[in-house]
Amino acid sequence: MEKTTHPALHKVRRICFSSLPPPNLSRALKLLDSMAQLEASIETEDGCLSVRYDLSQHTLEALENRLVSHGYHLDNSLLQKIKRALIYHCESCLLENLRAPTREQHLRSIYLSSAHLPEHRPTIEPADGHPDRR
């Protein structure tokens, strides 16, 4: 996986599967390895996959949804559900913040838009010096 983006976008996550039915981790690994900009490996101790990805390319929610759509059953214990919900939310917020304009861009757009409003345009005085005649 290339490391061309900001380090905060590089994520390492665990995807844990339900023990019943027993997951075919090698098949799940093959499914995820077929995706670009993603590295996956099997964790030996507890039937989980470790995935490394760039958040600009993938999200944990999308990866897990892909596995579920292919018939895999994720660990749905309360702790895992809470962890997943927190990660989904954090990744979503980070992506939304990256799409938001920076403070400088926001201020620039305010100044540019206000420069076109009539009250900010200079008034042009008639040549004879009387402001009432136009």
Domain ranges (residues) in the chain:
8-109
The H-assigned helical ranges of the chain are 25-33, 60-69, 78-99, 103-115
What is the CATH architecture of 8-109?
2-Layer Sandwich (3.30)
Per-residue model confidence (pLDDT) at position 69: 96
Residue corresponding to tokens 């997951």: 23
Q: In the numeric block, which tokens belong to residue 62? A: 């999308």
Treating both helix axes as pointing N-terminal to C-terminal, what angle do 60-69 and 25-33 enclose, rounded to 10 degrees?
120
Averages of pLDDT over runs of 10 residues in the chain (134 residues) are 72 93 90 92 86 94 96 95 97 88 74 65 62 56
**pLDDT reported for residue 75:** 94
State pTM to two decimals: 0.72
